[in-house]
Chains A and B, each alone.
Chain A
Amino acid sequence: MIPEDVPAALVRRIVGRHGGDATRLLQILIDVQDETGWLAPGVITAVASALSIPRSRVEGVAGFYQFLHKQPVGRFHLLFADNITERMQGSVELMASLCSKLWVEPGRLSEDGLVSVGTTSCIGMGDQGPSLLVNGQPLTRLSHQRINQVAELIRREVPLPGWPAELFRVDDNIHRRDALLSLDMAPGAALRAAVALGRDGWMEQMRASNLRGRGGAGFTTAVKWMACRDAPGAEKVVVCNADEGEPGTFKDRVLLTRMADMLFEGMTLAAWAVGARRGFLYLRGEYRYLLAPLLEAIDLRRAENLLGRGILGAPGFDFDIEIHLGAGAYVCGEETALLESLEGKRGTPRIRPPFPVSHGYLGRPTVVNNVETLAKTCLIALHGGEAFAATGTAQSAGTKLLSISGDCAQPGIYEYPFGVPIERVLEDCGASDIQAVQVGGASGITLASYEFHRRIAFEDVPTAGAFMVFDSSRDLFDVARNFVDFFAHESCGFCTPCRVGTALLKKAMKKLAEGRGAKTDLADIEWIDRLLKNASHCGLGSAAPNPVVDTLLKFRPAYERRLQSLDFEPAFDLDAALAAARRASGRDDPAAHIGAEEADQKG
């Protein structure tokens, strides 16, 4: 390991590179860990002293993010994406196979420190799964053959840059283009149009467009921008939310890959409207492989005077963009948790009101918008607000990018005008014999086949973009259980109902899965659902019960099948409790078990 005094010097150097700025704590910890492999207690102390902040604060942050390690991890650290669509493609078996080839237990570090293997939430590769992250880099289209190849590379200790590039290939998989994806815009064209209109004229176009946010809540963008512009405080901030953590969503990945320049132009258009000088792109850690090209795109824009001082010669139009990395925390997509994270803190959602438009980043008036929302503002600047408002439906102007995955012939990105019926989408992506579609990700809505006439629109089936397809061979209980586990894993733990409620739901679903459920368990599940929905502090907790509520309503037999005929079954499982004793004695024969059938240990 690293000698005692090295971390201190290394840490001081990295902290110095970040200007000794404690709001950059998360970025500093990411950089330090790149060098040290993990954040040992001494490293945490060194970061605290180099920044002159309390050690407890650093430890609090280090423990919050999944990609920061307070325990050692392997020199090769692999995390399999654990979303249900990846499981349907065999990720569980592939992971077991890799672990057995490498002689390592999931979640444990191999004795030689070479490798550790675990799972993580959806990494945004649902169209080319099964997938995993190796030392933060995505590996796609896993198969048994690829797993063999990976095991061999790890055994031979080949450093990542020496791995075949093909393993890391990420395809865009665009299958349907509409206004946004077919736009071919010269850098600066939209901005020139907006600058010519003046700040107020441009805001007026935005108002006329009726553009609503594409990140989930569907708030009218111009209303948000005007509130920020009019809020007291001279220093306004524009933040682009590229956290894209909702399971099954990957459309922002494609926009960040293909249309980064338009996204930055959109951020600059927002800055022109609200008078911001500072911009942030909050990029989820899973998309770190996009960081270098994104930074290059920013540099190009600076060189062309599309960022920096006096943009396009407009007096007082100064704006620049920094990129901050996330580190494995879905909740940081919630805009106030995102702002906390940007300030170098734990990603805990704030009390609202006040809202970010008046009290955002460091208390400054801040606009937070989704990647797709910002990219679309270019269309409005180019063609005018009214033209934009004329497409889609009356309440949902424009188009929507869908990320389609699951049981269909052509998973990938589809852009439709709002108002498209579910059945049309299913037809286009080559899906047949479908029993359910999960629209909007784990926190969205489960649609049964009798609802496929419904339409994608804020007023009918709203979505941030996820569209996961399940054919008749799938068990909707497994789907709901996967989402429940996701929320329990991602709960920030701030408020009682979500911290405890998601963990209780996870236990209840496990009990049902093991065939030990009783009617009272369903009643408990419904009661926990209600508390989550009503009492949670943020949208994560209040959406957490959605998959269970929907599937209990629409696919109840999937649950009832799993009930014992008893009315009550204790949650305590004596046989499971003896597992540790069995491991210690190396026994697993029938005589070492209590009760007839052994519980299903999978998952």
Chain B
Amino acid sequence: MSKQFLFDGRPVAFEDGQTILQAARVAGHYIPHLCWHPDFPPHGSCKLCIVKVAGRHVSSCAMPAKEGMEVESNTPEINGERRALLQMLFVEGNHFCPSCEKSGNCQLQALAYDLEMTGERFAHFFPERPVDASHPDVLLDFNRCIFCELCVRASRDVDGKNVFALTERGINKHLVVNAESGRLADTDLAADDLAANICPVGVILKKRVGFAKPIGERTYDVKPIHLVAMEDGK
């Protein structure tokens, strides 16, 4: 007999070592997530994957599944909190979706549609974040960073390069690249590094391929993220 827990009232089987999110996903249940990626250990920073277990909120991407757990995920309460977290991510950066090359392929935007975020509620921060266009093949637009650290992890753990890191703290936290000049051109990033291809939003963009596919026909334009997310990595 395999072990089970209850996910929104339905039994889900799991193996020891699986997190709630992993087990739910295998069973065909989607939990919103931004900083989690199937090929990496959990990071636990975005908190979009929060669920309620025995009245307490936990990060489902990081919390090991346990026999008999009762997990609440797709409820008005939790979705309301997820929406507010998205609103926080929108107001702390500068996101002008209509002019963004990532529009339609952006997980932040797609989740906002999925969770029916209709406005941004909180006051905007309008931070000043410069664009780095120094690299011949890759553009960095820091205005859209959500600090998932996927680029940091991919560069360090897969590419073996450590091109990206975070510095400062709190609301002033920001991304830096591995060069004294602070310019991407002075790092050893290559366009086919995993780090250059993993950003879920529109920070790390390839040059000269912009708008190859018109907005309106892109990944999340044609299919909502809760369906797309269940397809990859299977």
Contacts and interface: CB of A to CB of B under 8 A. Distances in A.
> Does chain A bind chain B?
yes
Contacts of A537: 44-45, 47, 59
Interface string A486-529: 00111111111101111110010000000000000000100110
Contacts of B123: 504, 507, 571-572
Given A56-B178, A496-B89, A64 B168 contact: yes
Interface in A355-381: none
Contacts of B146: 496
B167 A59 contact: yes
Contact of B122 (A493, A496, A504): A504
Contacts of A101: none
B216 interface: no
Interface centre among A57, A490, A494, A501 (most CB of B within 10 A): A494
A328 B50 CA distance: 31
Given A45-B180, A60-B176, A496 B169 contact: no
Interface string B33-47: 000000000101111
Interface string B125-168: 10000000000000000000011000000001000001111111
A214 to B, nearest CB: 25
A450 B94 CA distance: 47
B175 to A, nearest CB: 9
Interface in A518-556: 524, 527-528, 530-531, 534-537
B173 interface: yes
B212 interface: no
A253 interface: no
A531 B180 CA distance: 38
A499 B176 contact: no
Contacts of A55: 178-180
B171 interface: yes
A534 B92 CA distance: 20
B162 A496 contact: no
A534 B50 contact: yes
Nearest to B61: A351
Given A60-B166, A351-B42, A493-B168, A500 B81 contact: no
Nearest to B179: A55
A409 B170 CA distance: 37
A63 B91 contact: no
Contacts of A497: 47, 85, 88
B2 to A, nearest CB: 22
Interface string A44-61: 110000000011110110
Contacts of A45: 180
Given A42-B180, A44-B180, A351-B42, A63 B167 contact: yes
Interface centre among B45, B59, B88, B156 (most CB of A within 10 A): B88
Nearest to A488: B170
A545 B101 CA distance: 38
Contacts of A60: 165-167, 176
Interface centre among A45, A63, A524 (most CB of B within 10 A): A63
B177 interface: yes
A499 B171 contact: yes
B64 interface: yes
Given A493-B147, A507-B123, A572-B123, A535 B47 contact: yes
Contacts of B92: 499-500, 503
A353 B62 CA distance: 8
A500 B91 contact: yes
B89 A500 contact: yes
Contacts of A493: 147, 166, 168-173
A318 to B, nearest CB: 35
B84 interface: yes
Contacts of A447: none
B3 interface: no
Interface centre among A59, A490, A571 (most CB of B within 10 A): A59
Contacts of A64: 167-169
A329 interface: yes
A132 interface: no
Interface centre among A54, A56, A353, A493 (most CB of B within 10 A): A56
B162 A54 contact: yes
A496 B168 contact: no
A496 B178 CA distance: 25
Given A59-B176, A531-B81, A534-B57, A500 B171 contact: yes
Interface centre among A45, A70, A491 (most CB of B within 10 A): A491
Contacts of A504: 88, 91, 122-123
A242 interface: no
Nearest to A352: B62
A346 interface: yes
Contact of B88 (A63, A346, A501, A536): A501
A543 B49 CA distance: 21
Nearest to A497: B47
Nearest to A353: B64
A553 B42 CA distance: 37
A245 B180 CA distance: 33
A537 B147 CA distance: 14
Contacts of A534: 50, 57, 81
A490 B170 contact: yes
Nearest to B168: A63
A260 interface: no
A547 B164 CA distance: 37
Interface in B80-121: 81, 84-85, 88-89, 91-92, 121
Given A55-B180, A56-B162, A572-B123, A531 B64 contact: no
Interface in A103-132: none
Nearest to B56: A534
Q: Which 9 A-B pairs have the closest CB atoms?
A: A63-B167, A56-B165, A54-B162, A571-B123, A493-B173, A500-B88, A56-B178, A503-B171, A60-B165
24 contacts: A42-B180, A54-B165, A55-B178, A57-B165, A59-B167, A62-B167, A63-B168, A63-B176, A346-B166, A351-B42, A492-B170, A493-B170, A494-B45, A496-B47, A496-B85, A496-B146, A499-B170, A502-B171, A503-B171, A531-B85, A534-B81, A535-B47, A535-B85, A537-B59
Interface of B: 42, 44-48, 50, 57, 59, 62, 64, 81, 84-85, 88-89, 91-92, 121-123, 125, 146-147, 156, 162-173, 176-180
Given A493-B166, A493-B172, A534-B81, 19 more contacts: A54-B178, A56-B162, A57-B162, A60-B165, A60-B166, A62-B167, A351-B44, A491-B169, A493-B169, A495-B45, A495-B46, A496-B46, A497-B47, A497-B85, A504-B123, A528-B122, A534-B50, A535-B47, A535-B57
